[in-house]
Amino acid sequence: MNSGDFKTIEINTDLLILGGGMAACGAAYEAAFWAKKKNMKVTVVDKAAMERSGAVAMGLSAINLYLGLRNRKNTVRDYVNYVKNDLMGITRDDLVANIARHVDSSVHLFEKWGLPIWKDNKGNYINEGRWQIMIHGESYKNIVAEAAKKALKELGNNGEYLERVFITEPIVVDNKCIGAAGFSIREKKVYIFKAKAVLDAMGGAVHVFRPRSVGEGLGRSWYPPFNSGSSAYFAIKAGAEMTCQEVRFVPVRFKDAYGPVGAWFLLFKSKATNALGEDYMKKNASELKKWAPYGTSNPVPANLRNYLMMMELEKGNGPIYMKTNEAIKDLVGKITDIKEAEKKMKELESEAWGDFLDMTVSQALLWASNNIEPEKQQSEIAACEPYFISSHSGASGAWVSGPEDLSPDEYHWGNENMTTVKGLFAAGDASGASSHKFSSGSFTEGRIAAKSAIAFCINNTSSGNVDKDKILELKKSILQPIDIFSRYKDYTNDKDVNPHFIKPKMFMFRLQKIMDEYAGGTGTGFKTSEALLEKALEFLQFMHEDSAKLAASDLHELMRCWENVHRLWQAEAHIRSVLFREETRWPGYYFRTDFPEIKKDWKCFANCRWNNETGKWEMMKKEIIELT
Ligand code: SFD
Ligand code: AMP
């Protein structure tokens, strides 16, 4: 196979939506509504199949963002304050508020489309915690995808959905994004999309850091390994300003199969302890004062909960255990009637297994294979490798314009959710500084961004021109790994080891080693410093050089090559931002040993931009302006 075998397919559209996850489904649903009125075309492109693509592929057991405004349970301001505190003060209030004020309506749509939400006898949703509601969510993604596809279908020829097309590169002319390039992972086809507006919604980034699951466990991760930093790469290469690239997320999960802990902490009211049975949140509570006012607030920010746990591991007091057995015993112990108690026990057992079977099936398999009965014994938890996911408790993404009615001038320069590149919008994990949007908030932000992008298309009717030479250049660069492989494959008799090329898996391992050892991965207890980060940057420059030697023996490997190029750029944005911020603000996410304290003068955003004219990175501080 070589590049000459590939056809070039050119597609013209009005709004191009990249990705098929929660944000993209929300975007497709909303865009279709507005596009229909204006006879506009909407095209959605996903590397996988929408029914099971992205983070919600396996399903979920809770919707983590629901305010309950119709019952006056919470206010938008309550939510903004909660998110801001969890992120140690680094949040765009305007973006969080914009999502929060609209999110309930998205959840009501999910229910209308058939998603079973747990309810009490009075028909009220059952909360897991203050903001989280319980669902039977194994088919969550199918339900949402079905609605998105139906909306596109209703547009007739103006609704287009391409699956198994991997987006590699933005097309930008005069700081305006006019399209994207990619390739089919099933057919020998390169795609050139030309659009009036482009919405980047390709999820977060996994496997940038060396995962705890290596060897026979490779591929297992908490977030989906298929989200490989394409959102960040696309925006960076387009020249967009990025924010919070240092704010990785380190989730605490059940060890080795990454089962989420939220239901245990919030619904079952479980405690976690060190190996000596000590509740580390109580034992190390005095540490929280150092991180005031955030550390002394309720709830304690996720990164500080991690940190108090990590302190025990530093002292050699591991493993850390979730006291599942004690939590269940406490819940049943309150019931005096024996029959009722037995019934409750069965219910809790089923909920405990259901929590994983709905969203992290492998954790249920691991429990079964290790003979773990949660009602009888405790279960290990651990801090995972870092992820880039602004929709959960991280914050890295593109710097986007806020809504006109809420945002100060500094945060409003164009249509809502437009990046600093004209015509390029971002939502979900792709947009930064608006954490805790989760599945429902990402879908909602997709809706907000799509409505705004359609409005942009109405006011900006000209599509840019992509000339023939540019198309040839894009095609050549996308398919280069195929040509390199076919040219050199016979040089050695091992298809994976060759002095002329590097295979994507080896490339990924090399990147992960650098990130783990120099940028504060699990291997170094999440610690790093200027000296280590400078070294990492030096190695990353070699990786940039070597990325020109990536080789692919088939279409699947071609995708793997590009995934790892995307990871590399996400890694670099991260390292540069961690280096730039001379303090430690999220000690349970990473710790700068040379700047071990939180500093007042760093209560600001650390933004960065790769200047696509000079090829140089620019770092800048941006003021935090809170909503009054
Ligand atoms: O328990 C390309 N999330 C949870 N959210 C909740 O509301 N409740 C929970 O219970 C949650 N938990 C949870 C969650 C995720 C995971 C994996 C687990 C548990 C195990 C978070 C949400 O899922 C998350 O916030 C949203 O899904 C984010 O939405 P979005 O749209 O930003 O990302 P996506 O859904 O992953 O979709 C990405 C899409 O992009 C595609 N893609 N397409 C073309 N070209 C490329 N180069 C591409 N690269 C990627 C993907 O295929 C996908 O369609 S709990 O832990 O808190
Ligand atoms: P997780 O399963 O860790 O992704 O958590 C699901 C939801 O519960 C998220 O909104 C978390 O922020 C929240 N959460 C998890 N653990 C705790 C805790 N110990 N205290 C407060 N909130 C939590």
Domain 252-383 has CATH 3.90.700.10: yes
- What pLDDT, on a 0 to 100 scale, did the predictor assign at position 159? 98
Give the whole-angstrom CA distance, residue 501 versus residue 547.
Answer: 9
C-alpha distances (whole Å) from 451 to each of 26, 185, 323, 416 are 10, 30, 46, 9
Q: What is the mean pLDDT of residues 470-485?
A: 97
C-alpha distances (whole Å) from 478 to each of 192, 378, 556, 558 are 11, 49, 13, 8
Radius of gyration over alpha carbons of the chain, in Å?
24
Atom of ligand 1 nearest to the CA of 360: 20
Give the whole-angstrom CA distance, residue 289 versus residue 295.
Answer: 6
Residue with structure tokens 């699951």? 213
Residue with structure tokens 């060396």? 210
Q: How far apart are the CA of 23 and the centre of ligand 1, in A?
A: 8
Q: What is the mean pLDDT of residues 142-164?
A: 98
Grade residue 167 by pLDDT with cuts at 50, 70 and 90.
very high
Annotated catalytic residues are 64, 128, 222, 253, 355, 392, 439
Angle at 437 between CA 607 and CA 26, to 5 degrees: 105
Pocket of ligand 2 from Cβ distances under 6 Å: 64, 129, 132, 251, 260-262, 265-266, 299, 302, 305, 393
* Closest ligand relative to 19 C-alpha: 1
Nearest CA to ligand 1 atom 21: 438
Atom of ligand 1 nearest to the CA of 563: 47
Task: Give the helix ranges, DSSP H, for 168-219.
Answer: none
- Let me know if 507 is exposed, middle or buried by CB neighbors in 10 A (0-12, 13-18, 19+): buried
Q: What is the mean pLDDT of residues 306-327?
A: 97
- 3-class DSSP assignment, residue 234: helix
- What pLDDT, on a 0 to 100 scale, did the predictor assign at position 73? 85
Angle at 353 between CA 347 and CA 359, to 5 degrees: 125
What is the DSSP pairing of strand 15-18 with strand 42-46? parallel
pLDDT in tens, 406-435: 999 999 999 999 999 999 999 999 999 999
| Both structure tokens of 5 | 């075998």
* CB distance 533 to 575 below 8 Å: yes
Partner residues linked to 193 by β-bridges: 11, 180
What are residue 349's phi and psi, to 5 degrees? -60, -45
Nearest CA to ligand 2 atom 15: 262
Residue from 134, 261, 300, 392 to probe ligand 2 pocket by mutation (most atoms less than 8 Å from CB)? 261
* Closest ligand relative to 223 C-alpha: 1
Percent pLDDT > 70 in the chain is: 100
Which residues make Cβ contacts (< 8 Å) with residue 375, sequence separation at least 6?
A: 324, 325, 328, 329, 345, 348, 349, 352
Partner residues linked to 501 by β-bridges: 498
- 3-class DSSP assignment, residue 269: coil
Residue 107: which of 69, 152, 138, 51 has the closest Cα?
A: 69
- What pLDDT, on a 0 to 100 scale, did the predictor assign at position 310? 98
- What pLDDT, on a 0 to 100 scale, did the predictor assign at position 471? 96
Residues of the chain with CATH 1.20.58.100: 477-622
Grade residue 462 by pLDDT with cuts at 50, 70 and 90.
confident
- What pLDDT, on a 0 to 100 scale, did the predictor assign at position 461? 86
- What pLDDT, on a 0 to 100 scale, did the predictor assign at position 182? 98
Averaged pLDDT of the chain: 97
Nearest CA to ligand 2 atom 10: 64
Task: Give the helix ranges, DSSP H, for 116-199.
Answer: 140-153
Which residues make Cβ contacts (< 8 Å) with residue 35, sequence separation at least 6?
A: 14, 15, 41, 42, 155, 158, 159, 454
C-alpha distances (whole Å) from 342 to each of 336, 345, 352, 368 are 10, 5, 15, 22
Partner residues linked to 397 by β-bridges: 243
Q: How far apart are the CA of 392 and the centre of ligand 1, in A?
A: 9
Q: How far apart are the CA of 121 and the centre of ligand 1, in A?
A: 32
* Closest ligand relative to 560 C-alpha: 1
Atom of ligand 2 nearest to the CA of 251: 3
| Both structure tokens of 86 | 């969890």
- Let me know if 141 is exposed, middle or buried by CB neighbors in 10 A (0-12, 13-18, 19+): buried
* CB distance 430 to 203 below 8 Å: yes
| Both structure tokens of 412 | 């409003």
Pocket of ligand 1 from Cβ distances under 6 Å: 18-24, 45-48, 53-56, 60-64, 166-167, 201-203, 222-224, 226-227, 230, 260, 262, 359-360, 391-392, 428-429, 438-440, 442
* CB distance 94 to 404 below 8 Å: no
Query: Which CATH number describes the domain made up of 477-622?
Result: 1.20.58.100
Q: Is the pLDDT of residue 323 over 90?
A: yes
* CB distance 401 to 342 below 8 Å: no
Q: Is the pLDDT of residue 334 over 90?
A: no
Nearest CA to ligand 2 atom 16: 262
Percent pLDDT > 90 in the chain is: 97
Residue from 30, 164, 391, 562 to probe ligand 1 pocket by mutation (most atoms less than 8 Å from CB)? 391
- How big, in percent rounded to 5, are the helix, strand and coil portions of the chain? 45, 20, 40
Q: How far apart are the CA of 201 and the centre of ligand 1, in A?
A: 10
What is the DSSP pairing of strand 7-12 with strand 189-194? parallel
Q: How far apart are the CA of 262 and the centre of ligand 2, in A?
A: 4
Nearest CA to ligand 1 atom 15: 55
Nearest CA to ligand 1 atom 14: 55
Atom of ligand 1 nearest to the CA of 251: 56
Lowest mean pLDDT among 383-392, 460-469, 569-578, 609-618: 460-469
Buried (b) or exposed (e) across 113-130, using 16+ Cβ within 10 A?
eebebbeeeeeebebbee
Q: How far apart are the CA of 491 and the centre of ligand 1, in A?
A: 41
* Closest ligand relative to 110 C-alpha: 1
pLDDT in tens, 95-135: 999 999 999 999 999 999 999 999 999 999 999 999 999 99
Q: How far apart are the CA of 374 and the centre of ligand 2, in A?
A: 19
Q: Is the pLDDT of residue 601 over 90?
A: yes
* Closest ligand relative to 135 C-alpha: 1
